[in-house]
């Protein structure tokens, strides 16, 4: 009886202590997470770093990427971030869209990563370790008939490395790169994969609504997107064939296939005017609200973690 | 009962095969020579207007009642859609200083030969930036439901192109690699004009 009582004296305080400890650890972990700060560098810092890269030698890991054009491409991306082009007929739009984040908020980290990946064939970006496969290393610099992407070897390398590294359910049946796969399901980006990439690479706080096949059901789309723009960078996942009409088929599958970065929104007469960036520049277009609601399947808002920001 | 179902299926299959043959015949390269004057007029006037203000133009519906206009500036591309008779179309052309009579003439010619889209497209040849005029024509007289509509696409180049013995457009004579434009292979009409048949008009 006495032994049982002693056990009670030892057992219960221990459990309580463990629970408190567990809770405090959880709080500490949460605090630590909140204390994370999204890295921020300026265009000027990145360009200064670029200026000292004068002796970049040809990489044995990327045999088809010329070091001079590689640096020129990186410089262009830093100077004119909106000039990045996903390429004609490719499925790189998700990777082009997410590039908007580092090129605007942290070009130095992007630049440092790209240099290391070129020189050493492997590098770490955020929480991700990249060591692209051999077929991808051979393909970078050889993609042709893609318009502007033909002459942007650094963008080819970046898109191919991202697609090689991040996998989602859309890539289940085509996980390994073969020539021409850039136009197929190999680089496809489902909505959850897009959000994961933004979180893990750039340490943003990402909030999202919507899914790959179900519309988000936002009541007032104008207010939602306007408020999103106040919070951070807004990526919209939408049905491309309905955005850019390319045929007259009556049977249009309403599925999202394209990522755009929303840069401005305002009401105009009975419609909504949106300005967005997709490839190589900004576009402004007017839509009735019902149409906009019909084509949008996901909205992802990436806001900076600033708890410890100086 | 079984015989009746088989007969219906057989008739449907025949219709599909016949329609696809009819479509292919209509899309032959002869089309270019039959409409050469109008096609080159459209190409030339578009090129001239484009040099004044970069833009693309097309029709978004099968009946050619809705016009889509894309105005390209240094910083942004504006996409508009109007009914062809809407006054807002002229207001917009005026705003961007595009000559209204010339655009109206271009629009009429496009409607006449069912040209659904025209734009200027950049491409690279041995790292050199070049451009072509991309034109799509809708020529299906009838179109069966559940089948994909096809478009006759013409590309106009400022300089002679290379082709292989089968008439495929090549990227260069030395490499003899078949050039793809928007994922499609193109075929020779003459040294500076190539065509393909595609299920997308742009």
Q: Does A269 touch chain B (CB under 8 A)?
A: no
Shared domain check, A73 and A157: yes
| Test the B interface: residue of A142, A143, A245 with most B CBs within 10 Å | A245
Q: Does A76 touch chain B (CB under 8 A)?
A: no
CB contact under 8 A, B122 and A147: yes
Q: Which residues from chain A sit within 8 angstroms of residue B144, using beta carbons? A: none
Shared domain check, A216 and A91: no
Among B145, B179, B199, beta carbon nearest to A145: B179
pLDDT range class, residue A31, cuts 50, 70, 90? very low
Structure confidence at residue B9 (pLDDT): 61
How far, in Å, CA of B185 to CA of A89, rounded? 13
Shared domain check, A113 and A166: yes
CB contact under 8 A, B61 and A144: no
Summarize chain B as % helix, strand, coil (round to 5). 35, 35, 30
Domain boundary among A197, A215, A243: A197
Q: What is the DSSP string of B65-114?
A: -EEEEEEE-SSEEEEEEEETT-HHHHHHHHHTT--HHHHHHHHHHHHHTT
Shared domain check, A274 and A180: no
Q: Does A268 touch chain B (CB under 8 A)?
A: no
Shared domain check, A176 and A74: yes
**Mean pLDDT, to the nearest integer, of B97-103?**
95
Q: Does A142 touch chain B (CB under 8 A)?
A: no
Asked if the structure places residue A17 within a domain, the reply is no
Domain boundary among A178, A197, A216: A197
Considering its fold, how many domains does chain A have in total? 2
Shared domain check, A188 and A168: yes
Domain boundary among A168, A197, A226: A197
Q: Does A308 touch chain B (CB under 8 A)?
A: no
Residue A225, token pair as written in the block: 């997107």
Asked if the structure places residue A214 within a domain, the reply is yes
Asked if the structure places residue A27 within a domain, the reply is no
Q: Does A144 touch chain B (CB under 8 A)?
A: yes
Q: What is the pLDDT of residues A196-240, one digit of tens each?
A: 999 999 999 999 999 999 999 899 999 999 999 999 999 999 998
- Prediction pTM value: 0.86
- Cα B38 → chain centroid: 14
- Considering A200-209, B3-12, B172-181, the range whose residues carry the highest mean pLDDT is A200-209
Shared domain check, A210 and A114: no
pLDDT range class, residue A251, cuts 50, 70, 90? low
Q: What is the pLDDT of residues A66-111, one digit of tens each?
A: 999 999 999 999 999 999 999 999 999 999 999 999 999 999 999 9
Q: Which residues from chain A sit within 8 angstroms of residue B200, using beta carbons? A: 246-247
CB contact under 8 A, A147 and B146: no
Q: Token pair 């057989």 is at which residue?
A: B10
Asked if the structure places residue A11 within a domain, the reply is no
Asked if the structure places residue A309 within a domain, the reply is no
Shared domain check, A125 and A189: yes
Which residue range(s) make up the domain with A172? 43-197
Measured from the Cβ of residue A92, the count of other Cβ atoms closer than 10 Å reads 29
Q: What is the pLDDT of residues B113-159, one digit of tens each?
A: 999 999 999 999 888 999 999 999 987 655 566 667 889 999 999 99
CB contact under 8 A, B77 and A151: no
A219 to A215, A216, A253: CA distances (angstroms): 11, 9, 23
Asked if the structure places residue A261 within a domain, the reply is yes
CB contact under 8 A, B124 and A275: no
CATH number at residue A273: 3.90.70.10
Shared domain check, A290 and A173: no
pLDDT range class, residue A167, cuts 50, 70, 90? very high
Nearest 5°: phi and psi at B169? -70, 130
Question: What does the mean pLDDT of chain A come to?
Answer: 88
Q: Are A166 and A158 in contact (CB under 8 A)?
A: no
Asked if the structure places residue A233 within a domain, the reply is yes
What does the domain layout of chain B look like in residue ranges?
29-198
Structure confidence at residue B14 (pLDDT): 54
Residue B195, token pair as written in the block: 């065509």
Nearest 5°: phi and psi at A124? -110, 135
Tell me what percent of the residues of chain B surpass a pLDDT of 70: 81
**Mean pLDDT, to the nearest integer, of A27-48?**
72
Query: Is A252's pLDDT higher than 80?
Result: no
Q: Does B124 touch chain A (CB under 8 A)?
A: yes
Shared domain check, A68 and A182: yes
Asked if the structure places residue A31 within a domain, the reply is no
């Amino acid at each position: 009886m006495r032994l049982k009582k002693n056990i009670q004296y030892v057992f219960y305080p221990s459990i309580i202590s463990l629970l408190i400890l567990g809770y405090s650890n959880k709080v500490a972990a949460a605090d630590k997470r909140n204390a994370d700060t999204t890295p921020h560098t300026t265009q000027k810092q990145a360009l200064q770093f670029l200026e000292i890269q004068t002796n970049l030698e040809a990489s044995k890991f990327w045999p088809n990427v010329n070091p001079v054009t590689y640096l020129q491409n990186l410089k262009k991306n830093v100077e004119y971030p909106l000039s990045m082009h996903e390429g004609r007929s490719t499925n790189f739009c998700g990777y082009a869209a997410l590039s908007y984040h580092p090129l605007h908020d942290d070009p130095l980290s992007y630049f440092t990563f790209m240099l290391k990946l070129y020189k050493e064939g492997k590098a770490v970006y955020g929480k991700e370790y990249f060591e692209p496969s051999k077929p991808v290393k051979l393909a970078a610099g050889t993609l042709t008939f893609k318009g502007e992407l033909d002459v942007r070897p650094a963008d080819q390398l970046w898109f191919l490395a991202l697609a090689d590294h991040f996998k989602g359910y859309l890539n289940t049946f085509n996980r390994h790169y073969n020539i021409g796969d850039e136009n197929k399901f190999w680089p496809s980006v489902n909505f959850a994969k897009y959000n994961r990439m933004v979180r893990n690479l750039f340490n943003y706080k990402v909030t999202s609504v919507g899914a790959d096949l179900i519309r988000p059901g936002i009541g007032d789309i104008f207010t939602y997107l306007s408020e999103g723009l106040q919070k951070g960078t807004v990526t919209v996942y939408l049905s491309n064939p309905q955005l850019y009409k390319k045929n007259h088929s009556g049977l249009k599958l309403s599925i999202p296939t394209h990522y755009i970065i929303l840069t401005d929104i305002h009401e105009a007469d009975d419609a909504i005017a949106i300005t967005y960036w997709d490839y190589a520049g900004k576009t402004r277009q007017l839509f009735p609200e019902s149409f906009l609601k019909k084509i949008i399947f996901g909205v992802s808002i990436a806001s900076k973690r600033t708890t410890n920001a100086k | 009962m079984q015989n009746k179902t088989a007969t219906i299926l057989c008739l449907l299959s025949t219709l599909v095969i016949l329609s696809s043959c009819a479509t292919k015949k209509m899309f032959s390269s002869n089309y270019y020579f039959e409409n050469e004057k109008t096609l080159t007029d459209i190409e030339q006037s578009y090129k001239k207007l484009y040099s004044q203000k970069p833009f693309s133009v097309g029709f978004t519906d099968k009946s050619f009642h809705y016009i889509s206009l894309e105005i390209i500036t240094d910083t942004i591309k504006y996409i508009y859609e109007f009914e062809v008779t809407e006054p807002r179309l002229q207001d917009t052309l005026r705003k961007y200083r595009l000559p209204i009579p010339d655009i109206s003439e271009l629009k009429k010619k496009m409607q006449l030969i069912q040209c659904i889209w025209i734009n200027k497209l950049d491409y690279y040849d041995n790292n050199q930036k070049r451009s072509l005029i991309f034109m799509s024509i809708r020529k299906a007289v009838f179109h069966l439901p559940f089948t994909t509509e096809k478009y006759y696409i013409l590309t106009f180049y400022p300089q002679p192109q290379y082709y292989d013995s089968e008439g495929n457009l090549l990227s260069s004579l030395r490499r003899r690699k078949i050039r793809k434009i928007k994922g499609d292979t193109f075929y020779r009409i003459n040294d500076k004009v190539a065509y393909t048949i595609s299920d997308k008009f742009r």
